[in-house]
Amino acid sequence: MPDTISKAMSNLPKLRELVVLSGKGGTGKTTITASIATLSKDLVLADCDVDAADLHLVTNPTVITETKFFSGKEAIVDASKCSGCGLCEAACRFDAFQAQIDGTYSISPIHCEGCGLCVRLCPENAIHFEPRDCGKWMVSNTRFGPMVHAQLHAAGENSGKLVTVVRKEAKKIAEEHGQSLILVDGPPGIGCAVISSVTGADAVLLVTEPSLSGIHDLERVTSLASSFEIPVYVCVNKSDIDPRITETIREHTIENGHTFVGTIPFDEHMVQAQLQGLSAVEYIEGETRDRINQIWENIWTTW
Amino acid sequence: MRVAVASGKGGTGKTFVTVNLARTYNNPILVLDCDVEEPNTNLFLKGDLINERPSTILVPQVDESPCDGCRICAEVCEFNAIAVIAGKPLIFEDLCHSCGACATFCPQDALQEVEHVIGTVIERKSDSIRLIEGQIHVGKALAVPIIRDVKKESEKADEDMVLLDSPPGTSCPMVWTIGDADFVILVAEPTAFGLHDLQLAVETVEEVGIPFGVVINKDGIGDDRVEKFCTRHQIDIIARIPYDRHISEVYARGGDILEEYSYQVLFENLWQVIQQKVESQEVIHA
């Protein structure tokens, strides 16, 4: 680890949480997260992309504990009690009910929002509420340190709440074991799961790419991140795909009062690192490694 | 016919496939951009603005005079969007899922449901392509109501082909997007992340029960693990888009990659495969 970083880190009084986001998917959030984990060491990892978690593919975690995640409820129809009155179908705002051939109603768990309106309305008490099994979360050991990760069931609900559980657990571990950094690999987009990932965090690193989509999505995620009034760092991956757009992103970042922390050129070795189950900086020597190192140093020294 | 373009992982090329399928379709086509958190189709399809309107959900509003502070509204709310403080309900609009339970069960009829803006629905048209895009307002959490709003617009469509650009992931926004499609295209990259997220997407599409096929994008950049997975699970690979840095550069700045003849052919062929797949499904169901 470069001396400047060690020094900056040792001066930090408290635990900090950095969230890696991008707006657009596929810009390299997980690649950068795994690389920062390699460079930093003294940290707890949290994979908050609970829909499509990939960080474990390059950190090779050994799972220590696995916990089922129940959140919210789902309505279940007891067909033997259903009189077929149709009140539930008429009241449900989520189109979750379907009339069956025998006149009773069934409910689609994928569509059920868990609001309980039908449970309370049903004159036959034929609908009851059950806790919803949404997925699981795990605490693991990795070569970088502890990691908390999760998996939402296919077509699952409540990703935002699962994100909150993952972050809370990561914080608990860091406080118990004295790590100074929680590094969060965030989900794409700007909605529910992203808001849950960044609420209460200490800084955001935005990883973008120089394309029309990248710049458009960056604007939206930057505006979300700014609303939390925490430091926002921006880096551009695959920067040489369009150097002109990369420069525009750098200018916009500075104009908006955020910190531009660097660029990484397009490097096919990144895919190879991933296929080998390694972080980019573990696998790649030379410029790509230096650039990622520089980005990390720029974050620590200005934070 | 309704065709959805989806993927577990973000950035695999959903919008790339959507845009080029729309451009190579020979008849009027309606494109719905359901990636309401980060809608990008309009950056490529452009078109003239036809209509723009707010997308709203219903949230409760308290009429204080009949309210007697009974707390039933807060008790029936499963989303903690109502707190009764000093005998009066306080509404947290951003937590409200718009289910209507509070207004339904208020014994005093003191809750009215009013429209609350959470996004925008924008309609554009260029030549034979009509695009309807949903856009969630920054800071709002609920994507699904906007996706449903966008899809509602397609119910009265004249076009007989509807193409849906899905958000990434495998949770509610993706499921609501693909729910009524006749066919789903899963776009995947031949990488470690690509395979893992494809597996999750396949599980989700199978759960919803819709026929699907896989398009491998950036074919050649990784290895054959996606290919092997598809073979093992008898999943059809319906197109392979070769990895080409030049194409990435053209697409990055918003250029038209169909100027390269081989891509024109590739997407025309993909349409043929999709149409055959959907027709053969109809035969099975008939």
CATH number for B143: 3.40.50.300
Choose the mutation target among A21, A24, A27, A51 for the interface with B, i.e. most B CBs under 10 Å: A51
Q: What is the pLDDT of residue B282?
A: 75
Q: Distance between CA B191 and CA A114 in Å, rounded?
A: 36
Looking at this predicted complex, what is its ipTM?
A: 0.94
Regarding whether B278 and B165 lie in a shared domain, the answer is: yes
Residue A10 reports pLDDT greater than 60:
no
Regarding whether B36 and B77 lie in a shared domain, the answer is: no
- Say whether residue B203 is in contact with chain A using an 8 A CB cutoff: yes
Give the structural domain span for B92: 56-117
Regarding whether B174 and B101 lie in a shared domain, the answer is: no
| Residue B192 to residue A211, Cβ atoms within 8 A | no
Regarding whether B26 and B77 lie in a shared domain, the answer is: no
What single letter denotes the amino acid at residue A201? A
Regarding whether B246 and B124 lie in a shared domain, the answer is: yes
Q: What is the pLDDT of residue A11?
A: 55
- DSSP per-residue letters across B163-229: EEEPPSSSSHHHHHHHTT-SEEEEEE-SSHHHHHHHHHHHHHHHHHT--EEEEEEEETSS-SHHHHH
Give the residue ranges of DSSP H helices in B86-191.
101-105, 144-153, 172-178
Residue A76 reports pLDDT greater than 60:
yes
Strand order from edge to edge, sheet including B183-188: B48-62, B111-126, B129-136, B29-33, B162-165, B2-6, B183-188, B212-219, B237-242
- Say whether residue A211 is in contact with chain B using an 8 A CB cutoff: yes
| Residue B197 to residue A195, Cβ atoms within 8 A | no
Q: Distance between CA A39 and CA A148 in Å, rounded?
A: 19
Q: Distance between CA B121 and CA B132 in Å, rounded?
A: 7
Q: Give the mean model confidence (pLDDT) for residues A122-131.
A: 97
Domain edge (last residue) among B92, B117, B142: B117
Task: Report the mean per-residue pLDDT for chain A.
Answer: 94
Regarding whether B170 and B242 lie in a shared domain, the answer is: yes
Q: Tell me: the pLDDT tens digits for B97-138?
A: 999 999 999 999 999 999 999 999 999 999 999 999 999 999
Residue A53 reports pLDDT greater than 60:
yes
Q: What is the pLDDT of residue B41?
A: 97
Q: What is the pLDDT of residue A267?
A: 96
Residue A6 reports pLDDT greater than 70:
no
- Say whether residue A242 is in contact with chain B using an 8 A CB cutoff: yes
Can you list the domains of chain A with their CATH numbers?
3-60+143-302 (3.40.50.300), 72-133 (3.30.70.20)
Regarding whether B224 and B108 lie in a shared domain, the answer is: no
Judged by CB atoms within 8 Å, which residues 4-43 of B form the interface with A? 8-12, 15, 35-38, 40, 43
Judged by CB atoms within 8 Å, which residues 10-49 of A form the interface with B? 22-27, 30
| Residue A54 to residue B196, Cβ atoms within 8 A | yes
Q: What is the pLDDT of residue B43?
A: 96
Regarding whether B178 and B143 lie in a shared domain, the answer is: yes
By C-alpha distance, which of B137, B221, B135, B173 is closest to B8? B173
Q: Tell me: the pLDDT tens digits for B132-173?
A: 999 999 999 999 999 999 999 999 899 999 999 999 999 999
End-to-end Cα separation, chain A, in angstroms: 17
Q: Which residues of A touch B249 (CB under 8 A)?
A: 241-242
What single letter denotes the amino acid at residue A143? R
By C-alpha distance, which of B80, B114, B111 is closest to B97? B80
- Say whether residue B167 is in contact with chain A using an 8 A CB cutoff: yes
Q: What is the pLDDT of residue A115?
A: 97
pLDDT over 90 percentage in chain A: 92
Regarding whether B244 and B134 lie in a shared domain, the answer is: yes
Choose the mutation target among A30, A31, A93 for the interface with B, i.e. most B CBs under 10 Å: A93
pLDDT tier at A155 (50, 70, 90 boundaries)?
Answer: confident
Regarding whether B195 and B274 lie in a shared domain, the answer is: yes
Residue A1 reports pLDDT greater than 60:
no
pLDDT tier at A13 (50, 70, 90 boundaries)?
Answer: low
Q: For residue B171, give the nearest of A73, A152, A190 by CB distance.
A: A152
Q: Which residues of B touch A275 (CB under 8 A)?
A: 191-192, 222-223, 225
How many structural domains are present in chain B?
2
Regarding whether B81 and B35 lie in a shared domain, the answer is: no
Q: What is the pLDDT of residue A158?
A: 77
Asked if B161 and B172 touch (Cβ cutoff 8 Å), the reply is no
- Say whether residue A226 is in contact with chain B using an 8 A CB cutoff: no
Asked if B198 and B229 touch (Cβ cutoff 8 Å), the reply is yes
Domain edge (last residue) among B71, B102, B117: B117
Q: What angle do CA A209, A35, A291 make, to 5 degrees?
A: 60
What one-character DSSP code corresponds to residue B128? T
Q: Distance between CA B16 and CA A229 in Å, rounded?
A: 34
Q: What is the pLDDT of residue A41?
A: 76
Q: What is the pLDDT of residue A166?
A: 98
Q: Give the mean model confidence (pLDDT) for residues A158-174.
A: 95
Q: Tell me: the pLDDT tens digits for A77-117?
A: 999 999 999 999 999 999 999 999 999 999 999 899 999 99
Domain edge (last residue) among B117, B136, B167: B117
Low-confidence ranges of chain B (pLDDT < 70): 284-286
pLDDT tier at A156 (50, 70, 90 boundaries)?
Answer: confident
Q: Is B261 strand, coil or helix?
A: helix
Residue B99: which CATH number? 3.30.70.20
Q: How many contacts, defined by CB atoms under 8 Å, are there between A and B?
A: 188
Regarding whether B132 and B69 lie in a shared domain, the answer is: no
Q: What is the pLDDT of residue A116?
A: 97
If you measure CA to CA, which chain A residue comes closest to B10? A25
| Residues contacting residue A53 through CB under 8 Å, at least 6 positions apart | A47, A149, A150, A151
Q: What is the pLDDT of residue B155?
A: 92
- DSSP per-residue letters across chain A: --HHHHHHHHH--S-EEEEEE-SSTTSSHHHHHHHHHHHH-SEEEEE---SS--THHHH--EEEEEEEEEEEEEEEE-TTT-----HHHHH-TT--EEE-TTS-EEE-TTT-----HHHHH-TT--EEEEEEEEEEEEEEEETTEEEEEEEEPTT-S-HHHHHHHHHHHHHHHHHHHT-SEEEEEPPSSSSHHHHHHHTT-SEEEEEE-SSHHHHHHHHHHHHHHHTTTS-EEEEEESGGG-HHHHHHHHHHHHHTT-EEEEEE---THHHHHHHHT--HHHH--SHHHHHHHHHHHHHHHH-
